[in-house]
Each structure stands twice: as C-alpha cells, then as structure tokens.
Structure 1
C-alpha cells in the first residue's frame, strides 16, 4: 500500500520519530551544597480595636480610647433626657408651683452621662440614669 492509497482510505499519515528531549539548562546557583532554608515570614495580627462593648458608668471612667489608643479617664457631659422632663413635670403638678420643677435639672442622677475622650474628643458612649 502506498501513501496515496492510505490518504484515500482516511488513514492518517505515518508518524515521524521526534528528536530526543533537549537537556535542561545549567544551574546558575552559586552554592554547590544543599539548598539553603528560606527565612520564615511571621504574620503579626493586632487585637481588634473594639473587643466588646464599653461599660460606662454615671461618672468619669478609666479605659483605653478605641480611637486614639491612649489610656484615659473619660470627660463626662450631663444632658437632660426625657426622664428629666417627666420628673420635672411631675414635681410641678405635685407641688402645685413651678419652684420644684427646676430640681431635676440640677441633679446629675436625672441626666444622661455622655462620655468623651479628653485627648481626641471622640464620643465613646453614654450612660443612662438607672
């Protein structure tokens, strides 16, 4: 059978032998000894900035500021809230005059305590009166 007859029958042409694989390139390393160990990379992770809720009391509280990471004692601003207004209205009705209605506005225990960082002035939270 010749080559033209094989092509007519749908057979593939005969394969030619391939040249042998080339030799790998020479090593350009400078040492001929065992391979050196690579230095280890250590990954250091920091703790989360806000590990949990900050517990704040009615007065200045010592803690680490989550914004500036300084150890501080909070600055507290007392502001009236709905409870202050309700107690004031109740005293006005019970006393029958307006003299008693100013007392809750002078008491820290009837106001909300807003805590701020004295270093960076960040708002840290509030403590409602109990």
Structure 2
C-alpha cells in the first residue's frame, strides 16, 4: 500500500523514529565532582541551631470576665488588673432593633445601649494601654 491509500482508509501516517532523549542534568544535591586544581574554595561556616523552650505558663490565653480581671500583660509583662471599656456590638444592635419593632416606637431601642450585658467588655492594660482581649456575654 502506498501513503495515499493509507490515508483514504483512515489509517494514521507512519511514524518516524525520534532522537533519543538527552541525558538528565547533573544533580545539585548528589556527589559533586571535586573543584578544579588551583581553585580556592571558601570554608563553609558551621550552622547555628536555635533551640527554643516550651511556652511559659504566662503565654496561655488570659481568661477574661465581664469586669476588671487580674492578669499579666503580654506586652509589658507586668501583673495588672485590666481596665474595662464597654462597647456596643452586634448583639446590642439586634436587641435594639427587636425592641423597636416589638414596641412599635423608638422609645425602647435605647435600653440595650445602657445595659452592660448587651455590650462587649474590652480589656486594656492600665500601664501600657495595650489591648488585652474581649469578653462577650453568652
């Protein structure tokens, strides 16, 4: 059969042999050949290994409450009693909106903004003024 007859029959054309694949590149991590004669190789300084100790007990998360709490400040490392600021959160806004809808007027919507139980308690260090954490009533 000739090439035109094979194409009419739907057979693929004959393949030509390909060149062999090239050799892989040298390994950068294997055995390296010695440097050429006369080439000065600088000495490699020894590696330094740093070993850290486990976390100290003061690195644990601080358990905060709704009022001032005794703790160790993670920023200045002093033993302190936290300063608390109460700020409105999502819960405050939802309760306010629900009171406004249920009461039918806006008179009751200001009550949650006066209640500490509807706000988040943000704790700060009185010494360095750093933020310690937040307590939210459940």
| TM-score normalized by the length of structure 2 | 0.58
Q: What are the equivalent positions in structure 2 for 1:1-130 lying under 5 Å apart?
A: 48=56, 50-130=58-138
Whether the 8 Å contact between 2:59 and 2:74 is mirrored in structure 1 is: no
Tell me, yes or no, if the aligned pair for 2:82 and 2:125 is still in contact at 8 Å: yes
Shift of 1:64: 1.3
Q: Secondary structure at the match of 2:80?
A: strand
Aligned-CA RMSD value: 1.8
The 1-side partners of 2:56 and 2:115 are apart by 37
Q: Distance in 2 between matches of 1:49 and 1:125?
A: 18
Correspondence for 1:21: none
In structure 2, distance between residues paired with 1:65 and 1:88 = 34
Structure-1 separation of matches of 2:83 and 2:67 = 9
Structure 1 residues 71 and 50, CA gap change in structure 2 (3 angstroms): closer
Larger Rg: 1
Aligned length: 86
TM-score normalised per structure 1: 0.61
Gaps of 5+ in 1: 1-44
Unaligned runs of 5+ in 2: 1-52
